[in-house]
Amino acid sequence: METQVLPGIGPTLAERLAARGLETLEDLAWFVPRGYDDLRDAVRLAAAEPGPRVTLVATVTRARYTRFRRRYLEVGLEDGGARATVRWFNVHPSMASRFARGARVILSGALRHRDGAFEMANPDLLGDADDEATSARLTLRPRYGEVEGVAPAIVRKAARTALERVAPRLQDGVPPDIAARLALPPLAEALRGLHDPPADLDDAETRALRDGDSPWHRRLAFDDLFFLALAVLRRRHERRRLAAPPCAAPAALADARAVLPFALTGAQERAAAAIVGDLAGERPMNRLLQGDVGAGKTAVAFVAAHAALAAGRQVALMAPTEILAEQHLRSIEPWARALGHRAALLTASTPRGVRETTLAMLAAGATGLCIGTHALLAERVGFADLGLCIIDEQHRFGVAQRVRLRGKGDGAPHLLVMTATPIPRTMALTIYGDLDVTTLDELPPGRTPPRTRICHGARGRAQIVGFLKRKLAEGARAFVVCPLVEPSYEPGVDWADATTTADHLAEALAPFRVGLVHGRVPAAERDAEMARLRRGDIDVLVATTVIEVGVDVPEATVMVVLDADRFGLAQLHQLRGRVGRGGGEAFCLLHTRASQGSERLAILADTCDGFRIAEADLALRGPGEVLGVRQAGLPKLRFGDLLAHGELLREARREAEALLAADPALAAHPATHNVLLERAPPYAGDGG
């Protein structure tokens, strides 16, 4: 282990560092502090007041490790007549050796006063006030993420020394002219500033450092965002060199209008026209269609599919669930048939015989449109002439799956990805930077945003039952969504599962009829149950999130979500989007066990704007999780934050574009080229 070359790091410590992912000197140099303790806040124990976070200086009078009953280290402190007893629990006995009698130490933690003496439990040991570095400049002290079994002071020193050693050979991938233009320090300087902040920072600089907003922090954030932008742009550049299967069908939109049962909205028209235009081009289309739940993405996908089919190519439409794939088939097939196309369904539950026929027809080019799930990705699925891939709810798939589906065509089939989880534009440009983004910013006419109410605790449940009774009596149909399929044996978690809830509601709502669907119900039965709700053979459908994506029962007007706290905001918004599609009033009741307000759920009660909700969700959960950046094959963001660094992100993208325009192969920027290769190896065969 390379870190053993550092003074004070032997095999054991090196092992422990490695366990934390710190294997090389570079790893350590990049292991930047989580925060900073301001030692200038330190007061002498004699002058200290009790408080939750006190930093104090005092002299060690004794240190003793006790094994009696509880194991702990007890240290006595004295300063100007004031005494304190400090205890550390669950520490290694060797820690006692750090408290030589007479040493001046600096501690930070909660200080209590009891029986004329001070007490502290498990405070942070910030240092030794006799230590030359500490006492010379009682200043900002970096605080690192915990490394199990390695004392903070050792981590601190190791990081600092590691940086000194590697600084001369650090690859600084941001070209100096760009750094200069944005007033960002060089990489080595940024890391040094973070590991070993200078003693002469003024108040504003100190605050910036403690808030993670220093020029050094910004330099690292920029680094991340810049390479993310480069990786995305390079991908786009590579794609543009590929030739697309020609899919020119100038009449496609007019044809589609003739068979669709409704007039397209303005937004649908614009999106469809852009897509038909792309398909006629010589470069593969790479387009993201984002539109709120119910915005009508399916009809746009149909126009796209028809254009490719009319041009004599085949189309694959992939959806994340069977229910959704089946529903797409149900909507699209009649329209496609009216225009003379043959459509087939391919999912894991497609019966063997049917599957064989479908596969043969696809391979022969006799079936033009294949709608399916992940089953489409199977080795055996082959197309004669795949011209267009459409992926619905694309955030549910990884880039590898996208690439795989596209790989079923010769060359680079056109790609349309769709999502109902919109993200802010700059972010979309970066994450999906190789995609052109179209937004359906208009809902079909006759939609009423569901009135949303949050119901609390046991009283909330009674309210929900009462509400359902009333609405059902008026002829309404309702969904009730639960987070779990079966009862959980956690105490107090009753009513969270679909099975119990269905039983319970069947009784409470009699004579109204209650159905049940969840992931373990076979697809055919799920479908039958859904159809029953559509026909009014049942009044309430209790479900898990199998109904989350895309399920379309226009007759349903009430959506109840139990234990709504367990769902993401975007997910709840999707669920809510299941109702209110048929015109007329719609309602959404979100139940929480909490007895009072939840800030998170309140956002939903406040707005039906998918963009605002998505932004709030991003702010609450972090972009990585929401966007699946991790699975997108892009460089990891270690310091950059797509949300917090909006401005920096724009600059990073601008600079990356300018750089690639001037030097597409990065031939004149070897350091940038190397860092890019290291952080985002080219994805073999990745067309996007």
Q: Please say which residue, 332 or 660, places its beta carbon nearer to ligand ADP.
A: 332
Amino acid present at 298? T
- Quick check: 447 and 552 in contact, CB under 8 A? no
Position 264 contacts ligand ADP (CB under 6 A)? yes
Position 296 contacts ligand ADP (CB under 6 A)? yes
Nearest distance, CB of residue 499 and ligand ADP, angstroms: 28
Q: Please say which residue, 75 or 416, places its beta carbon nearer to Mg ion.
A: 416
Position 178 contacts ligand ADP (CB under 6 A)? no
Question: Encoding tokens for residue 494?
Answer: 């009753």
Residue 403's nearest CA partner among 423, 389, 420, 392 is: 389
Q: Please say which residue, 256 or 431, places its beta carbon nearer to ligand ADP.
A: 256
- Contacts of residue 647, defined as CB under 8 A and 6 or more positions apart, other chains included, come to none
Q: Taking CB within 5 to 8 Å according to partner kind, which of Mg ion, ligand ADP, none is near residue 296?
A: ligand ADP
- Which one of 91-99, 191-199, 291-299, 472-480 is the stretch in contact with Mg ion (CB under 5 A)? 291-299
Nearest distance, CB of residue 298 and ligand ADP, angstroms: 3
Nearest distance, CB of residue 393 and ligand ADP, angstroms: 9
Secondary structure of 232-249 as H, E, C letters: HHHHHHHHHCCCCCCCCC
Q: Taking CB within 5 to 8 Å according to partner kind, which of ligand ADP, Mg ion, none is near residue 347?
A: none
Using Cβ positions, the residue closest to ligand ADP within the complex turns out to be 296
How far is residue 216's CA from residue 228's CA, in Å, rounded to a whole number?
Answer: 19
Secondary structure of residue 569 in the 3-state scheme:
helix
End-to-end CA distance of the chain: 38
Q: How many residues bind ligand ADP (CB under 6 A)?
A: 19
Residue of 550, 577, 580, 623 interacting with Mg ion (CB under 5 A): 550
Position 262 contacts ligand ADP (CB under 6 A)? yes
Position 265 contacts ligand ADP (CB under 6 A)? yes
- Quick check: 107 and 126 in contact, CB under 8 A? yes
Position 82 contacts ligand ADP (CB under 6 A)? no
Position 420 contacts ligand ADP (CB under 6 A)? yes
* Prior bond of 511 cis (ω within 30°): yes
- Quick check: 580 and 447 in contact, CB under 8 A? yes
Nearest distance, CB of residue 550 and Mg ion, angstroms: 4
Residue of 554, 622, 624, 628 interacting with ligand ADP (CB under 6 A): 554
Nearest distance, CB of residue 35 and ligand ADP, angstroms: 43
How many whole angstroms from its chain centre is CA 275? 28
Position 293 contacts ligand ADP (CB under 6 A)? yes
Question: Encoding tokens for residue 361?
Answer: 């027809």
- Which one of 3-11, 109-117, 294-302, 492-500 is the stretch in contact with ligand ADP (CB under 6 A)? 294-302
Question: Encoding tokens for residue 575?
Answer: 């669920």
Q: Please say which residue, 311 or 324, places its beta carbon nearer to ligand ADP.
A: 324
Nearest distance, CB of residue 300 and ligand ADP, angstroms: 8
Helices (H) and strands (E) counted in the chain, each on its own, are: 24, 22
Nearest distance, CB of residue 298 and Mg ion, angstroms: 5
Position 291 contacts ligand ADP (CB under 6 A)? yes
How far is residue 262's CA from residue 444's CA, in Å, rounded to a whole number?
Answer: 9
x/- site string to ligand ADP, residues 429 to 448, per CB under 6 A? ---------------x----
C-alpha distances out from residue 434 to 21, 240, 681, 686, Å: 32, 10, 16, 11
How far is residue 554's CA from residue 537's CA, in Å, rounded to a whole number?
Answer: 15
Q: Taking CB within 5 to 8 Å according to partner kind, which of Mg ion, ligand ADP, none is near residue 22?
A: none
Burial class (CB within 10 angstroms; exposed 0-12, middle 13-18, buried 19+) of 177: exposed
Q: How many residues bind Mg ion (CB under 5 A)?
A: 2
Position 291 contacts Mg ion (CB under 5 A)? no
- Which one of 264-272, 346-354, 650-658, 677-685 is the stretch in contact with ligand ADP (CB under 6 A)? 264-272
Q: Please say which residue, 16 or 297, places its beta carbon nearer to Mg ion.
A: 297
- Which one of 80-88, 258-266, 382-390, 618-626 is the stretch in contact with ligand ADP (CB under 6 A)? 258-266
How far is residue 490's CA from residue 540's CA, in Å, rounded to a whole number?
Answer: 27
Nearest distance, CB of residue 421 and Mg ion, angstroms: 11
How far is residue 635's CA from residue 645's CA, in Å, rounded to a whole number?
Answer: 16
Q: Please say which residue, 233 or 323, places its beta carbon nearer to Mg ion.
A: 323
Position 16 contacts ligand ADP (CB under 6 A)? no
Burial class (CB within 10 angstroms; exposed 0-12, middle 13-18, buried 19+) of 101: exposed
Which residue(s) pair with 63 in the sheet? 75
How many whole angstroms from its chain centre is CA 42? 40
Strands (E), 160-277: none
Residues 521-550 that bind ligand ADP (CB under 6 A): 550
- Quick check: 605 and 453 in contact, CB under 8 A? yes
Catalog residues that contact ligand ADP under the rule CB under 6 A.
262-265, 268, 291, 293-299, 420, 444, 550, 552, 554, 581
Catalog residues that contact Mg ion under the rule CB under 5 A.
297, 550
